[in-house]
Every structure is written in structure tokens, then in C-alpha cells.
Amino acid sequence: MSAFDHIKIVSQLLDLPIVDKDERFCGIVDDIELSGTAGKEARVKALLVGPGAYQGRMLGWMFWIVRKIAGDRMARVPAEQVTEIGSVVKLKSRAETLGLHQVEDKVRAWIPRKGAL
Amino acid sequence: MNPLELTLGIMTAVGGFVDISELVFAAKAGSMFGYALIWAFALGTIGMSVFGEMSGRVAAIAKQPVFNLMRHRLGLKLGLITLIGSLISTLITCAAEVGGMALLLNYLTGLPYLLLAVASVAVLMATMWVLPFEWIERTYGLLGLLMIVFAVAVVAIHPPWAKLAGGFVPQVPAGLSQKQLLNYSYFIVAILSAVLFPYESYFYSSGGIEEGWGAKDLLTNRVTCTVGFGLGSLLAISILASSAQLFGPINVGPEIPGTTALEAAIPFGKTGLLLALLGMLFAVAGAAVETCMSNAYAISQFFGWEWGRHAKPWEAPRFTLAWIAVMLLALLIVLTGVDVMSLVEYAVLFSIIVLPLSYLPLMLLANDKSYMREHANKWLAKSLGWLFFIIVTAAAIAAIPLYLLTSGGGG
Amino acid sequence: MRWILLLVFLLAACSKGPQADLPYIGQARSLAAEWALVNEQAVEGKLTGSYVQTMRQSAREQLQTCEKALSQPQSDYAQEITAILKQPDDASPAALRAHARKLKRIEDSLESA
């Protein structure tokens, strides 16, 4: 499915995994930003990725716990970056250029690069 | 279908089927109720085959592992509840397996239990770091085939075969008191939980993606789940049957996990004892690895991190940290001194409660033609899948009341 | 929610007296029988030294746990468990099994009460 077809936000987009152009996992569609107003056509403007995006989807006290554990960072992936929506969302760029993979790259520095076959 | 790959897959499934919970409950069930609970193992195995086949098929066709589709189907809030519940139950199970390993090494070497727990975790972590996925799975699965000594042992003690075969028929033994009936019901729930542990399908489906399964692997998947799991369950049933004949008549529960090894020692002496202890050790070690990786898969897939042991540890850094953290937490639980039998009870209890929420999204996705195309569930998989979903839901509802009323099956 | 709490309180109220000790009596009965089986197989040369030693140690430790957990320390089953603990590590299987049978009789009579 291309990004510009009609789409069912909850059953076909929300909470799907995201892969970048190198087929690396770089997050989940945690929330969606829409353009348009009431009575007008709504378009998917951007995908919101990161624990900060949970704020609109859970109760206040739950988000407080999430923020304490994982922080509230959020990356905004413009809809134009999406090439395909199927069982995963595929992006046309690398994760780093979209502000994704930051924590993965930080954690990578802690992992020794030895010993694995 | 590559015959060598298929044979290795089946053998790995056989050797990897039994874990510490099945060892404990098979021996107790045989001693308390004779052959009357064999059908519960058989029923659980059919359920495991059904859900295992479905999760492997979803991995091969939709290319989605269980926790991605769980979040997508259940949504964030319900998905988080399922994730947390499953993390807790699988962590407790992992701790039980680590404790079981330490106990078995204690029987083999006489060295202190807590020291052996630390050593076990160190060895497990080293194998998970060094070996790629396929060799992690194969090593423990194939070494677990030493458990076949239990199947040979039950033949050697000449059980009443007609009575044993009768145990495959669902039944309620006649003449049970109310207390015994409650115990019998608790054991049915516990056995179903031990066989259908959620971590098994998480690990199996993620493993399918690790190994790059596609449509060409569907037959391998089906045969592994039916033949592999079926033969594996015969090992658990052998333990039950030997216990019925050897332990029941002499008032042995058993309460000590090591007593099960006597089932092979009685007919075969020291050789039987050593094969049994080693088989149990590798089966339990394999389960420790599977539970640990299953939790790491769950967290990574739920939050969209890089994951898998097809990658080097530094290529999936948060996944690597996750499995290291799970293994260390499991060790910490063991080091508190809580006994392995208690951990097994809690693992079984928590797991059955989480089971319906774990299998529901799998059922929904395997039925969904937009992801599965012509490989969506046909009538047989659909009917069996929903039937077992109803069974596990009923078991989940009954689990806590039965646990309280029977003091965890102890009367 | 209230009826769940009521059920929990009722269950808690039931856990006093010999009935509350039933799980420990059952465990002790089994542990004595397992100890007996280990000793029997050890005499026949079917077991390794480390296995025999660790199994005896496990049986003893768990029996001690059962003894401490009993709510009726002066009861006949408590005295039976104390008597088992006084046995030497290589006690005769027959003696251990006799204790196990006594505990089984007590267990059965409490269950049918």
C-alpha cells in the first residue's frame, strides 16, 4: 500500500514496526499527526516515534511512569518519508537522518565488539 | 524441504520440549493420579502444535514476530499489560530454569548450589554471546535428546501398557474425594500451562524470522510442530508413567527435583542416572536460554528496537542489553534462596493467566488474509485455534482459585 | 470485589490447626519416602556418591523446613517428623518407609475429616 491511499489509521498504521531503507528496525508508529480540520479531508502528516508520543494515548499517571523510565523524547517522521505500509512501515531514508536510532547508537558504544561468531 | 534440516529441526524440538516445570509436574502427576493425567499432556501438546504452527506460519509469511503483532492488534495500553505480564511470568520461569540447572549440577558434582547458579548463568551468557542463533538452539536441543533415557526406562520397567494407553483418554478417575478432585483439576491447569508456556511460541516465531523462513519452509514448520512436539511430549509422558509405577505405590511425591532421575537409575544403574541428570540439565539449560531470549525478543519487538542473534551482539545493542539484564535478574531471584519448586509453581500460575492475551492476537493475525494471503488459517487451524483459546481462557480463570484451594497442588 | 475478599478471608480462616499442616505432612511423607528410595538404590550400587549426598542433604533440609512450619508442634505428626530427622544419613530404607507410612495414615485421616 502506498502512503497516499486511503488508510485505516488504527488497524493498518498505528503500532506498526518501522524499518529504514537498510531494513533496520527503528521504532514503532507510536502516534500519528494529522493535517486538516473537522469536516475537511484528513491526511497523515507525520509519524510520531518515541515514548513522548505515548502522552496522548495513556492516562496521566501511566505516562508519568513511562517518562521516569524511558524519558519523553519523540522523533517526527514526515509522511513523505514513508514508501510503503504493509506488515511494517518502510522509510526511504536511513534512521539516523530522521532522528531515529539515537538511543540504539548510544547503547552500541557500551557493547564490546569481540567474541561473537 | 531439506531432509537434513528437517531432521535437525525435529530433533531440536524433541530435545528442547521438556523444561523444569514439565519435569516436576509430570513426576507429581504420575505419582498422585497414576496414568490418569497423560491426556492433559497430550491435549496441551496438540494445543502447542496448533499455536506453534500458526506462529511459525505468521513468521514465514507476514514476516512479523509475535510481539509486533500483539501491540498492533491489542493497541498500546492492552499490549503493555500483556507485555508486562508476560515479562514477569517468563522471568520467573527463567529463574526456575536457572535454579533447576544449579540443582542438577549440584547432584552431579556436589558443589555448592549458589556457586553453581552463578556458574550456570556465566556459561549460558557466554554461549548466547558467542554462538549465532541456529547453534544456540541446536546445541541445547540436541544435547537434550539424552532425555530419551526416560522413554527407554519406562519400557524397561514393563508398565501395564493397556492402562497407560487408557491414560490418553480424557477422564476423571472414579472415587476421588472432593479435595483430590480439586487437586486433579489444579494439575490439569498446571500441566496445560507448563506445556503451553507463552515463551515457547514467542521464541519459536522469533526463531523463524531469525532463520529467514519463507513460504518454502511452511512444510518444515508443520512437521516440526507436529512430529517434533509430539515426540517431545512422549518424554514428559514417559516421566509420568515411570512415576506412576515406581513412585506412587511407595508414597513418593516427589518433592525433590532430583528424585525424577531415579526413574532411569532403577532400571539402568549409574549410567541411567548420569544420562538422566545430563539430559535434564541440557533440557533445562535450553529452556533457560529460550526464556531469556524470549523476554529480550518481547521487549525489543514491542518497542521497535533492532533484535536477534542472527546479528552480532553490537549490531542489536538494546536487544543484547535486554537478554543480559533478564539473565542477571533471573540469577538474582535464585540467589535470594527461594526454592526451585516454588518458582515452578509461580511460573506456571502466572503463565496461564497471561496465555489468553498472548494467543488472541496470534489467532487474529493468522486468520487475516491481508497479511497471510492464501496461507491464512483454513477451517482446521481456525477451529482448533479457537477451541484451544477457549480451553486456555477457562484454565486461566480457574487457575488462581484452584491454586488457593489446593495450596498449590499440595492438598 | 467484596465477595472476593470474603472468599480470601474464609480461606485464611480455614488455615489453622492440623488441616493447615496437611501440605507439610504430605511433603514430609514424600521426603521420607524419597530418602528411603535413595538409600535403597545406593546400597544396590546404582547411584553416584555426589548424588546420594546431595539428595540426603536436600531431604534433611526440606524436612527441617516442614518441621519449623508446623502450627501444631506437639502433634503426633510433628513428633514423627522429628523422629525422621533423628535418623542417620544412611538409615535403613525400611525404617524410613515405616515413618512415611505413618505420616500417610495421618494424612489420610485428616483428609477424610
Helix axes of B20-33 and B66-109: crossing angle, nearest 10 degrees: 70
Query: Cβ of B407 under 8 Å from any chain C Cβ?
Result: yes
Q: Which residues of B65-95 are buried (b: 16+ CB within 10 A; e: fewer)?
A: bbbbbbbbbbebeebbebbebbbbbbbbbbb
pTM of the model: 0.92
> How many domains in chain B?
1
Interface test with B, best of A13, A24, A28 (most B CBs within 10 A): A28
From residue B213, how far is each of A107, B134, B376, C110 by CA, in Å? 29, 12, 16, 57
* Residue B309 lies inside a defined structural domain of this protein: yes
- Pairs across B and C, CB distance < 8 A: 99
Q: Hey, which of B307-316, C51-60, C69-78 has the most confident mean pLDDT?
A: C51-60
The model's pLDDT over B11-68, given as tens digits with 9 standing for 90+, comes to 778 878 899 999 999 999 999 999 999 999 999 999 999 999 999 999 899 887 777 7
β A17-19/A89-91 pair status: parallel
Cα distance between residue C113 and residue C107, in whole Å:
10
User: In the complex, which subunits touch B with 3 or more CB pairs below 8 angstroms?
Assistant: A, C
The model's pLDDT over B327-350, given as tens digits with 9 standing for 90+, comes to 999 999 999 999 999 999 999 999
From the CB coordinates, do chains A and B have 3 or more pairs under 8 Å? yes
Closest to A104 (Cβ–Cβ): which among B135, B305, B371?
A: B305
Q: B108 and C107 in contact by Cβ < 8 A?
A: no
Half-sphere exposure of C44 (CA within 13 A, CB side): 15
Interface test with C, best of B108, B111, B180, B250 (most C CBs within 10 A): B250
User: Can you spell out the DSSP letters for A49-62?
Assistant: ESGGGGGGGS-HHH
Query: Cβ of C62 under 8 Å from any chain B Cβ?
Result: yes
pLDDT at B95: 97
Which domain covers residue B266, as residue numbers? 3-169+183-387
Q: B129 and A28 in contact by Cβ < 8 A?
A: no
* Residue B176 lies inside a defined structural domain of this protein: no
Share the mean pLDDT of chain C.
Answer: 89
pLDDT at B198: 85
Query: Cβ of A26 under 8 Å from any chain B Cβ?
Result: yes
Rounded mean pLDDT of B383-388? 95
Residue C12's Cβ-count burial label (10 Å; 0-12, 13-18, 19+) is exposed
* Residue B394 lies inside a defined structural domain of this protein: no
Contact, C31 vs C14, CB < 8 A? no
Q: B177 and C26 in contact by Cβ < 8 A?
A: no
From the CB coordinates, do chains A and C have 3 or more pairs under 8 Å? no
* pLDDT at residue B96 greater than cutoff 70: yes
| Nearest alpha carbon to residue B293 among B157, B125, B165 | B125
Confidence of residue C81 (pLDDT cuts 50, 70, 90): very high
Query: Cβ of A96 under 8 Å from any chain B Cβ?
Result: no
Query: Cβ of A63 under 8 Å from any chain B Cβ?
Result: no
Contact, A28 vs B67, CB < 8 A? no
pLDDT at B77: 87
Q: B71 and A49 in contact by Cβ < 8 A?
A: no
* Residue B408 lies inside a defined structural domain of this protein: no
For chain A, list the domains and their CATH numbers.
9-108 (2.30.30.240)
Rounded mean pLDDT of B339-363? 90
Closest to B270 (Cβ–Cβ): which among C11, C48, C111?
A: C48
- Pairs across A and B, CB distance < 8 A: 75
Closest to A15 (Cβ–Cβ): which among B63, B71, B318?
A: B71
Reading the block at residue C15, the C-alpha cell is 488455615
| Rg of chain B (C-alpha set) | 20
Q: How far is A115 from chain B (nearest CA, A)?
A: 6
* Residue B278 lies inside a defined structural domain of this protein: yes
Chain A positions touching B128 (Cβ under 8 A) are none
Q: Which residues contact C105 (CB under 8 A, 6 or more apart)?
A: none
* Residue B161 lies inside a defined structural domain of this protein: yes
The model's pLDDT over B64-91, given as tens digits with 9 standing for 90+, comes to 777 777 788 888 888 888 899 899 999 9
Confidence of residue C12 (pLDDT cuts 50, 70, 90): low
| pLDDT over 70, % of chain A | 96
Closest to B258 (Cβ–Cβ): which among C33, C58, C111?
A: C58
Closest to C97 (Cβ–Cβ): which among B250, B256, B273?
A: B250
* pLDDT at residue B394 greater than cutoff 70: yes
* pLDDT at residue B409 greater than cutoff 90: no
Q: How far is C48 from chain B (nearest CA, A)?
A: 6
pLDDT at C2: 64
* Residue B147 lies inside a defined structural domain of this protein: yes
Share the mean pLDDT of chain B.
Answer: 92
pLDDT at A1: 47
Minimum mean pLDDT range among A30-39, B30-39, B234-243, B277-286: A30-39
CATH number at residue B227: 1.20.1740.10
* pLDDT at residue C60 greater than cutoff 90: yes
Domain ranges of chain C: 23-112
- Which is it for the CA torsion A90, A70, B328, A102, positive or negative? positive
pLDDT at C26: 94
Whole-complex ipTM = 0.91
